[in-house]
A and B are shown apart, each in its own frame.
Chain A
Amino acid sequence: LHLGVTPSIIRKRYNLTAQDVGSGTTNNSQACAQFLEQYFHDSDLAEFMQLFGGDFAHQASVAHVVGQQGRGRAGIEASLDVEYLMSAGANISTWVYSNPGRHESQEPFLQWLLLLSNESALPPVHTASYGDDEDSLSSAYIQRVNTEFMKAAARGLTLLFASGDSGAGCWSTSGRHQFRPSFPASSPYVTTVGGTSFQNPFRITNEIVDYISGGGFSNVFPRAPYQEEAVAKFLSSSPKLPPSSYFNASGRAYPDVAALSDGYWVVSNRVPIPWVSGTSASTPVFGGILSLINEHRILNGRPPLGFLNPRLYQQHGAGLFDVTRGCHESCLNEEVQGQGFCSGPGWDPVTGWGTPNFPALLKTLIDP
């Protein structure tokens, strides 16, 4: 029995042993980016690790902060990002991009993209919980940001984005309801992370869909070539597809993967806070696990994983626990009654290929 998700629950569920930590001998690193005017406190991280980090080697502080750490209260999202990236990707040097571009007229997310284009040596894995409704952004902006993601992928950076916390989303145009995809989650050049819950929230059991897990089909980007087979199979086999007028079946489908997103303990402003949920929690966990895999790859003289999706889909999600139960939320109307897509065998637009089973995932991603 447990009273919510802590690092040891994450590590048990995803089969991370005490040996599965950074070796401390490589130049491996990982980063999380904050765009929400939120800051983390070193003292919270220290307290978190004191409370929850007893059974694995870990670093007690962030290695590098890019941007300014404001004064005042810590933010719960910033605290969670750092605490769980450093628990899943334990003992690996961790950077925090803290609200780059603080000037009132700057866009922190855009400034982060500029930083990526201005630093030669960057951590291989970057996690970010940022998203906007696709329809709210100009196509000039979306296309250019997508190009920035391509530049990062060409350099071997793994960019992980939370898939969002409104399920399939919902909006109505001229009286017709549709699902509402999110960006950057819908970019074909990032790896998007959905969310799950334990089937029994007080035990370490198999995982089911967390109803808030963002997912769906882009209205801007066509289906990515690497996911052609997986998405076609889902669309042809899913027993409970929403009405076709609700989504663009030929769009880039997401998420690609998932991890637990429900019931986290976070320490923020010195207070342990239970039952915190959102795909902002699953994203640093998946990021940390990819950093552990990079650690093994680097120790074997291999390059870091880079842009993961082509390989992930080619291997049909091998090394991941398939989540096959549950549907995420969507429009609360008579037609779909609040239900979006439902998970099923293989890839689905709710949890992607599923959640990490570290030893199996390591085995499939260590070579080449």
Chain B
Amino acid sequence: TYSPEPDQQLTLPPGWVSLGRVDPEEDLSLTFALRQQNLERLPKLVQAVSDPGSPRYGKYLSLEEVAELVRPSPLTLHTVQKWLLAAGARNCQSVITQDFLTCRMSVRQAELLLSGSEFHRYVGGPAETHVVRSPRPYRLPKALASHVDFVGGLHRFPPTSSLRQRPEPQAAETVG
């Protein structure tokens, strides 16, 4: 196996508290970021349609054209889908660019699929939000190393707003 995100911070953000492990039969939704193709062509393409000096300035691609360019290879699609089906993941949905796959599965299946992961429920944030995350890193079979970028829904917590209500500026000082 290998760890796709060895450098992802796993510490609990301030303000979040663990409510313990999630029941193995509970449902999860995980997002698999599949390896894309032709990424080396994207920067030039972006430059060409964004640089006023370029003859292709403003001639943007449609979503379908982007999908055509970056769609994962048939081998990637086949390898990942076979792996998910074997683990019992059902109800997987893709996107038009086919480079993300969101699947629902039980906690038990997920913890078997993503070895090392352990799903807990947490509560935190101003709205007392409940999320399910894994405080322990996950690993994937080595055969997937060239097919999956990362798995979303395990480690990153919802952000909190940094908007602040500041004290009113000192009237006398500034107006004067």
Q: Which residues of A contact B (CB under 8 A)?
A: 1, 35-38, 72, 75-77, 80, 101, 103-111, 113-114, 117-120, 129-132, 135-141, 143-144, 147, 150-151, 153-156, 164-166, 189, 200-202, 212, 225-226, 262-263, 273-278, 280-281, 302-303, 306-311, 314, 368
Contact = CB atoms under 8 A, between A and B. Distances in A.
Contacts of B149: 140-141, 143-144
Contact of A303 (B60, B126, B156): B60
Contact of B7 (A139, A273, A309, A311): A139
Nearest to B42: A150
Interface in B112-158: 119, 121, 125-127, 129-133, 149-150, 152-156, 158
Contact of B163 (A155, A278, A311, A368): A278
A49 B176 CA distance: 32
A38 B128 CA distance: 11
A189 B42 CA distance: 11
Contacts of B51: 226, 310-311, 314
Interface of B: 4-9, 28-31, 33, 36, 39, 42-43, 45-47, 49-53, 57-64, 66-67, 70, 95-97, 99-100, 102, 119, 121, 125-127, 129-133, 149-150, 152-156, 158-169, 171, 174-175
Which 7 pairs between the two chains have the least Cβ-Cβ distance? A156-B60, A138-B5, A138-B8, A136-B9, A303-B58, A165-B162, A118-B95
Contact of B161 (A75, A119, A202): A75
Given A38-B161, A200-B175, 5 more contacts: A72-B127, A141-B8, A144-B150, A308-B50, A368-B57
Given A38-B127, A302-B58, A131 B159 contact: yes
Contacts of B167: 275
Contacts of A144: 33, 149-150
Given A150-B42, A277-B165, A103 B29 contact: yes
B8 A106 contact: no
Contacts of A110: 31, 152-153, 156
Nearest to B33: A144
A105 B121 CA distance: 9
B50 A117 contact: no
B157 to A, nearest CB: 9
B49 A105 contact: no
8 contacts: A37-B125, A75-B127, A105-B30, A113-B100, A120-B63, A120-B64, A132-B156, A153-B50
A311 B53 CA distance: 9
Nearest to A120: B63
Contact of B150 (A135, A140, A225): A140
Contacts of A77: 161, 163
Contact of B169 (A36, A80, A263, A307): A263
Contacts of A303: 58-60
Given A108-B158, A154-B46, A138 B39 contact: no
A278 B162 contact: yes
Given A104-B131, A117-B95, A153 B31 contact: no
B31 A36 contact: no
Given A154-B66, A155-B66, A118 B96 contact: yes
A130 B4 contact: no
A1 B169 CA distance: 13
A314 B53 CA distance: 10
A311 to B, nearest CB: 5
A273 B99 CA distance: 43
A104 B132 contact: yes
B4 A147 contact: no
Nearest to A39: B127
Contacts of B150: 138, 140-141, 144
Nearest to A124: B60
B9 A135 contact: yes
A106 B29 contact: yes
Contact of A106 (B4, B31, B125, B163): B31
A216 B31 CA distance: 31
Contacts of B63: 117, 119-120, 155
A105 B52 CA distance: 42
Contacts of B45: 154
A314 B95 contact: no
A116 B153 CA distance: 18
A244 to B, nearest CB: 24
Contact of A114 (B31, B36, B49, B66): B31
